[in-house]
Amino acid sequence: MTRLAVPKTYKLYLGGKFPRSESGRVYEIRSHDGEFLANAAKASRKDARDAVVAARSALGGWAGATAYNRGQVLYRIAELLEGRRAQFVTEIVQSEGVSTAAAFAQVDEAIDRWVWYAGWADKYLQVAGNANPVSGPYFNLSVPEPTGVVAIIAPQTGGSLLGLVSAVAPALVSGNTVVVVANEAMPLSAISLGEVLATSDVPGGVVNILTGSPAEMAPWLASHADVNALDLVGAGDLDWIHLEIDAAETLTRVLQPENGPDAASPSLARVLAFTETKTIWHTKGLI
């Protein structure tokens, strides 16, 4: 006797909560061979707007947390993922049609990527910042700071978990908050990651995950005045030039699309792409 399955309708992850799309829309997630897996929320431009609001309000707390704390929180994600490897492997196998071994490899690499980036949280500043020997009696220090709210179009090809983590993690390191549009066709990893994040120590609003159509949401995020940086890593198939033009309106920082297996490969440059260098001068006087 086979048990009757409970089909699931997933929701968005916004501001630490799991709302449905304000539009009420859903779309079907299918496996690589066309089998129905679940329904996902199809986020609208208003959901994107709400996500930016959530990200903005979470920014002060996340950017203001100590670097040590951010590192711990990011590492905690790796710990939680480690415990749920099997679930992610199953979803990846279903969605991507890869072997279990390949799915394990992807999950492991994603976990390791969290660990790697977690370690940068209290170090990137030392590598990218420095004292400046100005000619005069001044203390002068340059330090990188988070850019602010980062909107990300997650990679739409390749590993659905690894692509997402590779894009989201580096932005979080310095204290940015993120609005990410998940892999449209294979959002299960993103949805599950949202559930992991919700039970992790990542404050609500720091990561906001939208499922649905990147083509529909990206223009709203690109032109949004309260988005400070735009990572188009997974926007290669969109009219991304136009997105870049939209972003120029408020001088939003843009990372262009990357394709191929090493898209968003791990690097400190990816952390620094979402930072601003602040230089502080202060007089030095003994008398």
Mapped onto helix, strand or coil, the DSSP state of residue 106 is: helix
Instruction: Specify the residue, 40 or 153, whose C-beta has the smaller distance to another protein.
Output: 153
Question: Any contact of residue 190 with another protein (CB under 8 A)?
Answer: no
x-or-dash string of contact with another protein, 202-241, rule CB under 8 A: -----------------------x--x-----------xx
Residue 25 binds another protein (CB under 8 A): no
- The three-state secondary structure class of 9 is strand
* 3 state SS of 285: coil
Tokens describing residue 269: 């440059």
Question: Which one of 79, 112, 201, 216 is in contact with another protein (CB under 8 A)?
Answer: 112
> Is the Cβ of residue 13 or residue 62 nearer to another protein in the bound state?
62
Q: Which of residues 120-149 bind another protein (CB under 8 A)?
A: 127-128, 130, 132-138, 140, 142, 147
Stretch that binds another protein, among 1-9, 46-54, 112-120, 177-185 (CB under 8 A): 112-120
The span of 70-78, 82-90, 194-202, 262-270 binding another protein (CB under 8 A) equals 262-270
Total residues contacting another protein by CB under 8 A comes to 67
Binding residues for another protein (CB under 8 A): 102, 105-106, 108-109, 112-113, 116, 127-128, 130, 132-138, 140, 142, 147, 158-159, 162, 225, 228, 240-242, 244-245, 247-251, 253-263, 265-270, 272-273, 276-287
